[in-house]
Chains A and B, each alone.
Chain A
């Protein structure tokens, strides 16, 4: 099978990876939050792997192992039942911990660095600078009322000056 130049992996590998990513960060249909595989986070991971030979080798071995796990329960990850998909990923986590941690970390980095994902959690899609966020000024009356009991309780530090002769 030909390797897909834009995604680093051949179609089977990409399909397997997408299926795993969908398990790692699943969709929330109610809020229209996409799953990581569906969103195309594999492209981000592909780029990372391309830049690091050690990571590439780790992913190659890891995906080979994942394929074995899928083969044991069915033909392709996409065709498995939700429970079986979850079970495959759990077994992958147990059997390939180094690969799995690297995959999970890369998945979170690829997923949450996307400007189209941040607004789903209340953040701006834009860079934080120079626009920043609007935060209304505190109501001065509210602040005064909040600090009033703190002030009323009085001083809460210890006086502690040095004897004069020691400072020279």
Chain B
């Protein structure tokens, strides 16, 4: 079945697709978005249930291989120490993300020039700064102006309280003379734009029923629906189609009933994240592109980057009440973010003070790992003497791009529509291992300087369920032989095919990427508007 052609067809209703649609809506072009997931209702969020923690290991797991909902596709991560996590719905992974909102640093865009590794981006911080600001306004970001780790900017809302835990750790960083700052978060600290302020529920991953957390179904999509943008839910794209001239003609997709439909479009935009986008491109084979659409460079699916992380936990004298407040964010130290050759590695990492976790997750090994706590008397001691008094720092490292870290198509695994599923082949490199060793030692120092009596967990293990940030698999660049898209997201090989998600990152930085993903999507939208007269030349 074929539908009436549209001007802009966006695949994926998550963070980047929503931001791109918002940027283009003023053009009055007809925009349609295909989303494989459904609309979520806050009434269905497990954070409203009395046994809410159970859903973290079932239908609201961040791991699609655990959730196995009809809208999910499986991911073979057997050959990776880190497994990708996501959510499939209108809002994408902003439904269950933790909304930590640091920007990338100016140096993140210039790593080849400054540090002699990887490649420079074809855009820089200065170019993206107005789009970071615009996006912060649209999402409702809370934070404190004046952070000396960045060029000046002012978050639109005041910071979320850093609380006892943040204050305690801040003292530790101050004692060492190290940088720290209250975290920027895409969570409203006061009632804003129809959203109620954060109630400090501490279960951001289980859906924010009060709407304080900026999931894009509540932010961008509300505006877009009023402006006439159409979302079709339950629609899974199986292939991007080409016309005789080698331009994208549209897509074939499975509708809610599994029937294959065709949607033609003047322009196709991929916004399916760093795993979903290369998967779809690799599944879109033709005579012109036998290795996947727009893959003349051979780089589609290569250079996969995550942010490998590990945690260090200290034991304090007083209860730290780490279960209260936004999960991912109290304060963030970027003392070790920029390259310092004397440390023995290039690039850097952040020390994140997330809050602590809830009892069941603690017993099951913590957020992101599956290593059961001991039983018996040791268990009793852990819960009575350790759990309430614990506070941790997470070491979140930069991940340099390597062509051996890949998303490919699994030869046998498919989703429920029979579309080949992605396979992840990934390893943590030596540079990152050195960062871990350095970072875990610094985290111990900081916790002890903050008053921890002792260190109860020294890290040493990369979290498995930590593949939130999927980047690099269709990277930007000016050279068509060494990149997939140009400086504003247009595929070198198919000039009406755009990519706006984390796939286009050239390097990963060492911060949560959603802020940058959306700033880039707004920048690409702006570039499309500026080039509209000769967009496909």
Contacts and interface: CB of A to CB of B under 8 A. Distances in A.
B153 interface: no
A64 B107 CA distance: 62
B107 A158 contact: yes
Nearest to B171: A146
Contacts, number: 199
Contact of A149 (B105, B177, B379, B388): B177
Interface string B373-401: 10111011001100110000000000000
B487 interface: yes
Contact of B202 (A23, A133, A159): A133
Interface in B20-50: 45, 47-50
Interface in A88-137: 89, 101, 104-105, 107-109, 111-115, 117-118, 121-123, 125-137
A117 B359 contact: yes
A114 B122 CA distance: 53
A89 B376 CA distance: 9
A39 B194 CA distance: 43
A142 B148 CA distance: 19
Interface size class for chain A? Answer: 35 or more
Contact of B200 (A133, A153, A158): A133
A1 interface: no
B170 A146 contact: yes
B430 interface: no
A132 B180 contact: no
A154 interface: yes
A123 B107 contact: no
B4 interface: no
Interface residues of B, number: 83
Nearest to B126: A161
Contact of A115 (B50, B106, B109, B177): B50
Contacts of A31: 384
B199 interface: yes
B131 interface: no
Interface string B206-235: 111110000000000000000000000000
Contact of A158 (B114, B122, B127, B487): B114
A25 B360 CA distance: 12
Q: Tell me the interface secondary structure of chain B in the complex.
A: loop
Interface stretch (B87-95, B160-168, B405-413): B160-168
Interface stretch (B52-60, B309-317, B434-442): B52-60
A5 interface: no
Given A130-B48, A136-B161, A151 B148 contact: yes
B345 interface: no
Contact of A138 (B121, B127, B162, B335): B162
A166 B124 CA distance: 10
Interface string B57-73: 10000000000000000
B125 interface: yes
B464 interface: no
B119 interface: no
B106 A157 contact: yes
A161 B376 contact: no
Contacts of B203: 128-129
B376 A26 contact: yes
Nearest to B362: A112
Contacts of A155: 148
B372 interface: yes
Give the residue among B148, B372, B375 with the most A Cβ atoms within 10 A.
Answer: B375
8 contacts: A112-B53, A112-B358, A117-B359, A123-B359, A127-B47, A158-B107, A160-B125, A166-B478
Interface of B: 45, 47-54, 57, 105-107, 109-110, 113-114, 120-127, 144, 146, 148-151, 159, 161-163, 167, 170-171, 173-174, 177, 179-182, 198-203, 206-210, 319, 321, 323-325, 334-335, 337-338, 358-360, 363-364, 372-373, 375-377, 379-380, 383-384, 387-388, 478, 487
Give the 7 A-B CB pairs with smallest separation, nearest first. Answer: A132-B199, A112-B360, A129-B209, A128-B201, A162-B124, A129-B47, A108-B363
Given A89-B375, A111-B360, A133-B201, 5 more contacts: A25-B380, A26-B376, A115-B51, A128-B203, A138-B162
